[in-house]
A = this chain, B = another copy of it.
Amino acid sequence: MHDQALPKGGDGTLVERVMAVVSQRIAGRTLAPGAKLPSLRSFAETMGVSKSTVVEAYDRLAAEGVIQARRGSGFYVAGHAPPFSVADLGPRLERAVDPFWVSRQSLDAGEGVLKPGCGWLPADWLPEEGMRRALRALSRAPAETLADYGTPLGLAPLRQVLSRRMALHSVDAAPDQILLTESGTQALDLVCRFLVEPGDAVLVDDPCYFNFHALLRAHRVRIVSVPYTPNGPDTALFEQVLAQERPRLYITNSALHNPTGASLSPVVAHRVLKLAEQFGLTIVEDDIFADFEPEPAPRLAAFDGLDRVVQIGSFSKSLSASVRCGYIAARPGWIEGLIDHKIAASFGTGRLAAELVLSVLRDGSYRKYMEGLRARLARAMSESATRLKAIGITPWIEPRGGMFLWCALPEGLDAAVIARQLLAEDIVLAPGNVYSLSQSASRFLRFNVAQSNDPRLFSALNRAMAAAARRGAAAQIALA
């Protein structure tokens, strides 16, 4: 209130000049919508005018609807702050590389639309028969199973199965250290609610799963990133960003990283954990692609013993995205606090979804299904790589497994331009900058090899790339 003097001289009466000062503060957001204005007396003092001048200025601003009088409480800036749009929060991206846009396109795609950019398997690649058997079994379950909220931790036999599955990756998590959630995304949301505050720095890989950006924006944190290499995050830059930005959390996939398909090497895993300890960092290891691994890669949670590492996961990729069920495995002392957040945010978890997942995982056919799926994905991976290379699109690495192939377009081409063009032909691509906080992946695309077997895709890509190259050449000639 003391840094703003009444504009000297100029047009208008004293009242109008006081009104102008208030209006400027509102326009410049020094006074936000809903904020209380200074009292008549203090504002009169600050401005060096009489109280009656401020009274008249406030009254006229109220008559104009700029501010509002509240009985016995003073004057307030009219209106409320606009709703909190997560889409508007980040850097202004063109819609084609906006993470929300890509999610929406993929989720909304009707029949006949090709979705090589989407992040899940086609329905007929999933354990359909196992699901049908599970639904039939559930139709005969006790009434409580069909009716009641689950317990706060979630279905005990499923937590036992998860504990055994984690042991296969050398992660030692007792069933009581595992909390079921509505989804892998909700698992991450609860961890963020518990561990970060608005304004904290949170570290992600560049590139990383685009919804990490969306979720973190919704938590009003400062997102920072570290370049991802074929062996994990660049450890020199990792150390640098830890020292400079002091992030509270690091969110990553250790095995079959999304979108690159890379996995953490033991050396990098060890270095990351050491730096985490040095800088007091907590790591969230999203292990959603565990079932797709041909042979287990190092897990941060295994080396660390769930001390600084929290592991999350779900069944949306390997079993069904229609049945929502995820989990958090964390140090025992954190489980109670996480349960409170879960009850606050969603009360119970779906007992029915957990029963279905348990039923499918226990079904004798599941292991065989997963073996078949891995083999099928390996073939699709190899075929997609061959076909993409044939039209000049180069895989960044050959992933050990999973469904993603992170590929570079030829020099000079922009993936967002190609994506926009293919969308007009009902093909949803995933352009690289959707995954990149630094917006440095404009030449990259993520292909889902299970959704990339239609020849239409490759011919459309070929045409779009040729057209873009022609436009580029024409532009160069025009410049010459």
The residues of A with any CB-CB pair to B shorter than 8 Å are 34, 68, 70-73, 76, 78-81, 83-87, 100, 103-104, 107-108, 120-124, 126, 128, 131-133, 135-136, 138-140, 142-152, 182-183, 185-186, 189, 193-198, 211, 214-215, 217-218, 220, 243-244, 246, 248, 278-280, 282, 316, 320-324, 334, 337, 339-341, 343-353, 356
Contacts and interface: CB of A to CB of B under 8 A. Distances in A.
Nearest to A109: B151
A348 B146 contact: no
A148 to B, nearest CB: 6
A282 B83 CA distance: 11
A157 to B, nearest CB: 15
Given A70-B243, A353-B353, A123 B146 contact: yes
Contacts of A246: 34, 70, 76
Given A81-B197, A123-B148, A351 B322 contact: yes
Given A86-B344, A243-B72, A324-B350, A138 B135 contact: yes
Number of copies: 2
A43 B183 CA distance: 48
Given A84-B195, A107-B151, A182-B324, 6 more contacts: A120-B148, A132-B146, A185-B346, A189-B345, A211-B344, A218-B344
B353 A149 contact: no
A107 B321 contact: no
Given A152-B107, A344-B218, A350-B353, A83 B322 contact: no
A103 B347 contact: yes
B81 A147 contact: no
A279 B77 CA distance: 11
Contact of A343 (B146, B150, B214, B340): B214
9 contacts: A70-B246, A70-B279, A182-B183, A182-B346, A186-B346, A211-B344, A214-B340, A214-B344, A215-B344
Nearest to A194: B83
A197 B199 CA distance: 13
Contacts of A121: 147
